[in-house]
């Protein structure tokens, strides 16, 4: 959730004028505030952050609408004695990024967000540890592979939000120079590299130049001009893995477009092993990927639900797959949801408009079945970066 809000905020920070021109800035800020208000409520003390409500095992036993859920809803926290550097730092990043989005629009709220972000970064950096160690129920579903990437990501956002030299010093002392394989909720290094490139106006020297080199390497691999190119399907979509692949695509595209803006401002380009890549080349590549996602692909299917005339009809989503409580107010029990709706081979009764599903496999194939959670499950982190991407391309 925090990663979703960071990317949605980045969409506004980077492409606010474009969103404003399309009369969408109010909707974007309202969505961000919905998330950041929740984080503020979860951050009950400087060193205490509630990070989970409910339990994945008990939730997955049932297939129900949110209104019918009666599974245990215990709450779990991280604090100084039970650290969670990854989740605390990602929440700090979300709040810092959101503060920039609200600067010039709601100064008091922006200041409040920065205050919480600073405190959460201090919690994350002063009390190191993986959050699933403190909250074991989180490990099976969203276990973190490490926390250093979140700390660097949060420091980069806090530096951009505050200009505080201490955060730039943190980045200098914790370089992320390696070429990254992807950008995701569990690996923020690529995004941090892009923010460092922005902070150093692309022409960095010294320790932080490593970040730009790593970022350039990823861009070369993504546009198929590198030394270790990212896989591409026969139909022309970059492809990482079977489980919810489009989350990596949409997130990467936001980074690419942000970097194209920085390159344009610096009148710079990237030197790749097989040729130069300029900002316009990056935008052209992003457009090709967006076109694929929205229907220009071998299946002629839009992977954004509700867009176009051919899109997934059975997204793996409880609320969408069961009639609205307004149409069927009777309680649907834990197992009845599976029996009556999950296993029903028919379109979902509710269209999950705007959601982006996991997407096709490495051969451009897609099985439109709600039981196929690898491909058919939608996630908020899939669509949040697409807000900025579409704002730029529209």
Sign (positive/negative) of CA torsion 282, 287, 292, 297? negative
Q: With contact defined as beta carbons under 8 Å apart, do 257 and 264 qualify?
A: no
Q: DSSP letter string over 236-280?
A: S-B---STTTHHHHHHHHHHHHHHHHHHHHHT--EEETTEEE-HH
Spell out the SS3 assignment of 354-381. Answer: CCECCCCCCCCCCCCCCCCHHHHECCHH
Separation between Cα atoms, residue 252 and residue 219, nearest integer Å: 9
Separation between Cα atoms, residue 386 and residue 11, nearest integer Å: 8
Separation between Cα atoms, residue 253 and residue 169, nearest integer Å: 28
Q: DSSP letter string over 2-51?
A: HHHHHHHHHHHHHHHHHHHHTT-HHHHHHHHHHHHHHHHHH--BTTEEEE
What is the token pair recorded at 4? 């979703």
Residues paired with 271 in a beta bridge: 276
CB count within 10 Å of CB 284 equals 12
- 316 given a catalytic annotation: yes
Set 60, 316, 317, 374: catalytic member: 316
Residues paired with 79 in a beta bridge: 48
> Which of 250, 260, 182 is closest to 214 using CA atoms?
182
8-state DSSP, 369: -
> Which of 233, 182, 208 is closest to 364 using CA atoms?
233
Task: Cite the active site residues.
Answer: 316
């Amino acid at each position: 959730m925090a990663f979703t809000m960071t990317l949605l905020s980045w969409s506004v920070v980077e492409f606010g004028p474009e969103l404003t021109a399309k009369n969408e800035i109010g909707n974007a800020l309202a969505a961000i505030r919905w998330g950041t208000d929740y984080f503020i409520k979860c951050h009950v003390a400087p060193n205490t952050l509630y990070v989970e409500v409910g339990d994945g095992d008990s939730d997955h036993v049932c297939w129900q609408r949110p209104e019918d859920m009666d599974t245990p809803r215990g709450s779990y926290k991280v604090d100084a004695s039970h650290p969670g550097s990854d989740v605390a730092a990602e929440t700090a990043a979300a709040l810092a990024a959101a503060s920039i989005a609200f600067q010039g629009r709601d100064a008091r709220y922006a200041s409040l967000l920065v205050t919480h972000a600073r405190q959460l970064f201090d919690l994350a950096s002063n009390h190191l540890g993986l959050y699933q160690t403190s909250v074991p129920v989180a490990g099976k579903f969203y276990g973190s592979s490490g926390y250093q990437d979140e700390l660097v990501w949060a420091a980069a956002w806090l530096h951009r939000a505050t200009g505080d030299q201490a955060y730039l010093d943190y980045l200098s002392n914790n370089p992320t120079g390696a070429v990254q394989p992807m950008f995701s909720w569990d690996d923020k290094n690529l995004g941090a590299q892009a923010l460092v490139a922005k902070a150093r106006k692309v022409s960095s020297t010294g320790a932080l130049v490593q970040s730009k080199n790593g970022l350039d390497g990823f861009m070369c691999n993504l546009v198929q001009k590198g030394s270790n190119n990212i896989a591409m399907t026969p139909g022309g979509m970059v492809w990482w893995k079977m489980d919810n692949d489009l989350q990596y695509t949409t997130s990467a595209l936001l980074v690419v477009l942000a970097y194209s803006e920085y390159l344009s401002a610096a009148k710079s380009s990237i030197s790749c092993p097989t040729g130069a890549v300029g900002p316009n080349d990056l935008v052209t590549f992003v457009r090709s990927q967006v076109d694929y996602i929205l229907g220009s692909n071998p299946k002629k299917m839009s992977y954004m639900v509700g867009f176009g005339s051919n899109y997934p009809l059975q997204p793996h989503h409880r609320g969408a797959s069961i009639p609205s409580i307004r149409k069927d107010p009777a309680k649907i029990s834990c197992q009845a949801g599976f029996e009556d709706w999950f296993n029903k081979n028919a379109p979902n009764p509710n269209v999950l408009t705007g959601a982006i599903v996991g997407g096709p496999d490495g051969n451009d194939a897609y099985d439109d079945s709600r039981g196929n959670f690898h491909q058919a499950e939608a996630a908020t982190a899939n669509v949040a970066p697409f807000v900025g991407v579409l704002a730029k391309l529209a």
